[in-house]
Amino acid sequence: MTEHVVVHCTFERHAAAILDVFNEAIVNSTALYDYQPRTLQSMAGWFESKRAGHFPVIGIEDADGALLAFASYGTFRAWPAYKYTVEHSVYVHKDHRGQGLGRTAMQHLIAAARQNDRHAMVGGIDAANAGSIALHEGLGFKHVGTLPQVGFKFGRWLDLAFYQLLLDTPAHPVDG
C-alpha cells in the first residue's frame, strides 16, 4: 500500500505541480473550460485569492513529497448573502486517477468547509465527466441542475452540471 500524506498546499512548494495538473486538464479534457495553459505567474494570483479568502488548498502527496491530487474551494458568487456557500474543485494528476485520491482530498475539503462554517458546497462539472460525477455522488452530492451548451471547447458545445452538498453548519447563521 502506498503511503499518502494530506498537506496544506503553498505557492512555494506546490504551485508548479498544481499548474502541471491544471494545464494537462486544459489541454486534454473538458474538466476546465479554459483554452490556453496557465502560467506560473497566474498561480501567484490564484494562491493569493485563496489566502485572502481564507480558502484551503488541500493536497495529497506521496511519501516522496510529489503532489498527486488537490482540492480547494473559493467564492461561489460575490454577494454577501452567499457567504456560507463555496464553489469547489478537485483534480488528480493524470497518472494517479482511479486510486481514491480525489475522494480523500474531497473528504478533507468537506471537513474544512464544516470547520469554516460553510453550509453549501457547489461543484460545476462537465456533464460528460462520469468519473467526477460518480465521485461527487459517492460523497453525497446531489445533482441540482444542468446548464446546457454553456461552454464550447474541442469543437462542441458543453453542458455544465451542478452538484451540491448541504452541510449542517453553521450552527447560528446570521445576516450581514
**Does residue 87 contact residue 72 with C-beta atoms inside 8 Å?**
no
Is 174 among the domain residues?
no
Could you tell me the CATH number of the domain that includes residue 99? 3.40.630.30
Q: So what's the pLDDT on residue 108?
A: 98
Distance between CA atoms of residues 10 and 13, nearest Å: 5
Residue 95 counted as domain residue: yes
The string of pLDDT tens digits covering residues 94-133 is 999 999 999 999 999 999 999 999 999 999 999 999 999 9
- The answer as to whether 173 is a domain residue is no
Compute the mean pLDDT over every residue in the chain, rounded to the nearest whole number. 97
In a domain, 172, yes or no: no
Record the cell numbers describing residue 49, joined without a space: 485569492
Question: Is residue 128, in this structure, part of any structural domain at all?
Answer: yes
Q: For residue 125, tell me if it sits in a domain.
A: yes
pTM of this prediction exceeds 0.85: yes
Number of compact structural domains in the chain: 1
Q: How far apart are CA 151 and CA 34, in angstroms?
A: 10
Flag whether pLDDT at 1 surpasses 70.
Answer: no
Q: Which domain holds residue 128?
A: 4-166
